[in-house]
Chain A
Amino acid sequence: MIEIEHLTRRYGSTVVVDDVSLRVEEGAIAVVVGTSGAGKSTLLRMINRLVEPSAGRVLIDGQDTRTVPEDELRHRIGYVIQGYGLFPHRTVAENIATVPRLLGWGSKRIAARVNELLDLFQLDPAEFARKFPHQLSGGQQQRVGVARALAARPALLLMDEPFGALDAVIRAKAQEDLLAIQRRLGTTIVLVTHDMNEAFQLGDRIAVMDQARLLQYATPTELLTRPAEDFVERLVGTVERPFRLLSLTGVQAALEPGGAEGEPIALSDNLQNALSQLVWSGRESLPVADPNGVIVGRISVGGILAHGRPPA
């Protein structure tokens, strides 16, 4: 768990981060969004002390980060930046081994860990371990960047626009992969982005920043249904709002008893996708199937729409 308490950073008379407090639970993903210059990156960089706070403090599992030597602190926190900053003169394996080597792990343990991570990120060790960064595609570089950050099993991962350099198709896949890996490892993640879709897709909670201040820190649903300020409302997008809300709600919520004609919808899917299928098939309702293919009920356009607006 990390607790950010009244964190402030000033450069001369300019305040870049203004009295921000928030808490990220163990194993959760917190996404910080905002326009460029809002202070998101500075907030992130104060967590691993790449930027020293002017005031306030950060606690990681109850321990004040100022009591830990800087480098030691950073060994324990994974860090991924836009463009990744892979070391061009080191192979993929050497890049991933960076922090374990700094920590003095034995070479066998390092080799085993590198292979484990390469497998986890679907990079065949036999093919990729000895390659240099310039020989990788953008998506592969991104995966190596994340693998490198996870090498020493940090409990916390900081990510600054980690998907910013990827094109749309690869980005969606990379986001899914990250979610899967995060669920598996239980790593706590703080991620900075300016992409609202990314925030809604990844965030357990979303922190909205503007002009150095934290405007709202809440779950995605809350952000949509109870925006704290006009700015938040505009940022989440009044046009996309209902669809984002539907995408956050599972099919289960609008499940009705009975049956219907047509291609069944998976129970694990979300309401946005269900609506999309309904519109496309031109039907009022479609059957819903559980993971075993058993029809458990149906879903209708009217039932879905009721979930696309804030509860009265």
Chain B
Amino acid sequence: MSAFSILTRGLALFMLAVFIFAPQLFAFAFEPLTANNAPAIYNQGSLLSLTLSHLRIVVGATLASTVVAVALGIFVTRPAGLDFLPLSRSLVNVGQTFPPIAVLAIAVPLVGFGEKPTFIALFLYGLLPIFENTLSGLTQVSPLTLEAAKGMGMSPRQRLFQIELPLALPVILTGIRLSVIISLGTATIGSTVAAKGLGEVIIAGLQSNNVAFILQGGLVVALLAVLIHDGLSVAERAVARRLGRPADETT
């Protein structure tokens, strides 16, 4: 990583942190955007607590999706689950044609407003990329490698934990990253169903016609997503390197 990119990342992180902890410091920048003496900085809740609940729901849902999706991915690639493999592949394909908002909206009448429908939408939608990547990670392990492992007397369990999962790990991590990014976006929309999160700032801006709110909400959400994406990519490359793979070019 070049000194320049470390510097930009550090700076972006610093700005984001300062803005979240003390948004009033930036009031001067947003004032020109307001009209009729409207507040320049979001005043119906602290940005810090909104950010934290936003992150909490994303992390919680992603953890749940990861556990379930990886377990399912392992199941359908074992001999006992092979019958489910073709269908699960097409389900992932079909599932991705469901817009996250639709999942969110359909969950509301079932479980009511608040964090629950958001969590459900995040969990369900987050399953897809992780499951898909777990599948492709596990199925792309070279048959030669597995043959060698079997020939040396590794049990199915040892093959799974010592060979297949470590080799699939970078691909699974990519799936988790995709899932986190989608979840960050869906959680933002979750504010329309009254989940606490950063979307609140943007929605409030839209409702009260306050461009300053829209802009600061958008900036915080965007910066947060970009930084998280970036951090996860770096982590992925580090894992890939530790596993003896030349670092892949990011796409």
Contacts and interface: CB of A to CB of B under 8 A. Distances in A.
Interface in A46-61: 48, 50
B153 A87 contact: no
Given A79-B148, A102-B158, A89 B245 contact: yes
A89 to B, nearest CB: 4
Contacts of A75: 152-153
B244 A98 contact: no
A85 B153 contact: no
B153 A70 contact: yes
Q: Majority SS of interface residues in chain B?
A: helix
A52 to B, nearest CB: 13
A86 B148 contact: yes
Given A85-B148, A86-B148, A88-B167, A74 B153 contact: yes
Interface string A75-103: 10001010111111111000000110010
Question: Which of B163, B167, B244 counts the most A-chain CB atoms under 10 A from its CB?
Answer: B244
Interface residues of B, number: 21
A47 to B, nearest CB: 11
B167 A85 contact: no
B243 interface: yes
Nearest to B169: A89
Interface string B142-181: 1011111111111100100001001100000000000000
A264 interface: no
A158 B148 CA distance: 12
Nearest to B156: A71
A71 B148 contact: no
B147 A87 contact: no
Contacts of A90: 244
Contacts of A71: 153-155
B99 interface: no
Interface string B222-250: 00000000000000000000011110000
Contact of B150 (A50, A72, A86, A149): A50
By size class, the interface of chain A is 20 to 34
A72 B153 contact: yes
A133 interface: yes
Contact of A87 (B149, B151, B155, B246): B149
B145 A85 contact: yes
A84 B245 CA distance: 18
Question: Which of B145, B153, B163 counts the most A-chain CB atoms under 10 A from its CB?
Answer: B153
Given A79-B148, A83-B144, A88 B244 contact: yes
A98 B151 contact: no
A134 interface: yes
A102 B153 contact: yes
A89 B144 contact: no
A99 B152 contact: yes
A166 B195 CA distance: 62
B39 to A, nearest CB: 54
Contacts of B167: 87-89
Interface in A143-158: 148-149, 158
Contacts of B147: 50, 81, 85
Contact of A88 (B151, B153, B154, B245): B245
Contacts of B163: 87, 89
A62 B37 CA distance: 96
B244 A74 contact: no
Contacts of B155: 71
Interface in B73-113: none
A74 B152 contact: yes
Contacts of B158: 102
A132 interface: yes
Interface string B110-140: 0000000000000000000000000000000
A148 B152 CA distance: 9
A134 B246 contact: yes
Please list the 6 inter-chain residue pairs (A to B) with the smallest Cβ-Cβ separation, ordered nearest first. A85-B148, A74-B153, A132-B244, A79-B151, A89-B243, A71-B153
7 contacts: A70-B153, A74-B153, A87-B149, A89-B243, A102-B158, A133-B244, A134-B246
Interface of A: 48, 50, 70-75, 79, 81, 83-91, 98-99, 102, 132-134, 148-149, 158
Given A50-B151, A70-B153, A74-B150, 12 more contacts: A71-B153, A74-B152, A75-B152, A79-B148, A79-B151, A86-B148, A87-B145, A88-B142, A89-B243, A89-B245, A102-B152, A134-B245
